A and B are shown apart, each in its own frame.
Chain A
Amino acid sequence: MNIDHILGLVTGILFGFLLQKGRVLRFDKQVGAMLLKDMTILKFMMSAILVGMVGIQILASYGIITLNHKPMNLGAVLVGGALFGAGWAVVGFCPGTSVGALGEGRWHAIFAIAGMLVGAAVFAELYPWLKSTILAWKDFGKIGLPEALGISPWIIVLLFWAGSIALFIWFERKKL
């Protein structure tokens, strides 16, 4: 194990600890959010984003860290995103939570992990074909929303904070 591995492992343990304490690893929490009955996972995700985006944007603006945007490849994001959502509703775990769910004893997550490994292998086989079809449709490259809209990142951060707080208040009122 080198420093990369140790750092990854320690960070993962802390992240897994927080996911478990936030009770977001469970099938019922994930499907509960999709059935609009229990917003636990959304509360967790949005709180993480709210805090994280401020720190990441500050560090990036001073050049201390570098941003690494995922490509805005329209066909890939739309079709891939839709496929993910559909599969997610059935499996009830995302890749990270499937591993965590196994850790907290929900051993049926092993079937989810097996499916995900096969899904990754299938994607690797289909990749050459996808590259000439869906992935070749329209690629805007690795862009950030601030550049795409031509506005300061802090305007987006502010709007995101305002929108999230409003949503949190509504969640608590509705006891979601």
Chain B
Amino acid sequence: MKWKTEDGGWSPYLAGALAGLLAIVSAYATTKLMGKTNYFGTSTTFVRAAGLIERTASPEHVSANEYFKKEKVLIDWQFMFVVGIFFGALIASKIDGSFKSESVPPTWKERFGPSIGKRALGAFLGGVIAMAGARMADGCPSGHGLSGMMQLSASSFVALVMFFITGVIVAAIIYRRKTQ
């Protein structure tokens, strides 16, 4: 097993283990400094961001919505955590030269061709469904997959299995045909 990949990346085992350590330190630090244990998660931030955007058009609509009231439309720890992911990825990719402008990912291109429009439509519709599902399940691969599993939450074991089983089935249906 190599600790570095050919393109200057790190072994996913090493990077993952360090992410696990970070999750422990973060749980401790948020408890000490904020008075409440915060775990990694990202999808609630999309609800808050959607609420912030909608609020510019119709503040009454957002303040009347039950779900926005429940999740609270504000910029909190998790919101900044998600913003941080962007900058962390930017910094890491700029340092090791793996930053690359990409309009259509290779696997997608192989199956659906180089059309940016097609990729945009797929990404958009897939994104709508994925996020609606994540909010229904109350978590995504960060909230359920990492944080929930570390806490041994019953719901996270079920959610993670569902994520992968349906992911494998749908991916087999949409990407397999031409590549084989």
Q: Which residues of A contact B (CB under 8 A)?
A: 1, 3-28, 31-36, 40-41, 43-53, 55-57, 59-60, 64-74, 76-96, 98-109, 111-128, 130-131, 134-135, 140, 142-146, 148, 153, 156-157, 168, 172
Contact = CB atoms under 8 A, between A and B. Distances in A.
Interface residues on B, range: 35 or more
Contacts of A101: 89
Interface in B1-50: 1, 5, 7, 9-24, 26-31, 33-34, 36-40, 42-43, 45-47, 49-50
Interface string B137-161: 1111111111011111111111111
Does more than half of chain A's interface fall in helix, strand or loop, or is it mixed? helix
Contact of A104 (B47, B75, B89, B175): B89
Does more than half of chain B's interface fall in helix, strand or loop, or is it mixed? helix
A5 B74 CA distance: 11
A101 B136 CA distance: 24
30 contacts: A8-B77, A8-B84, A9-B87, A11-B22, A12-B81, A14-B22, A14-B88, A15-B81, A22-B15, A23-B7, A34-B167, A34-B170, A34-B172, A35-B171, A35-B176, A47-B13, A48-B23, A53-B151, A56-B150, A70-B138, A70-B144, A73-B155, A87-B131, A91-B129, A96-B85, A103-B88, A106-B102, A108-B104, A117-B46, A121-B50
A124 B153 contact: no
A21 B168 CA distance: 25
Nearest to B87: A13
Given A34-B171, A57-B152, A69-B153, 10 more contacts: A5-B77, A7-B30, A35-B107, A48-B19, A52-B150, A53-B149, A85-B162, A90-B126, A105-B99, A126-B132
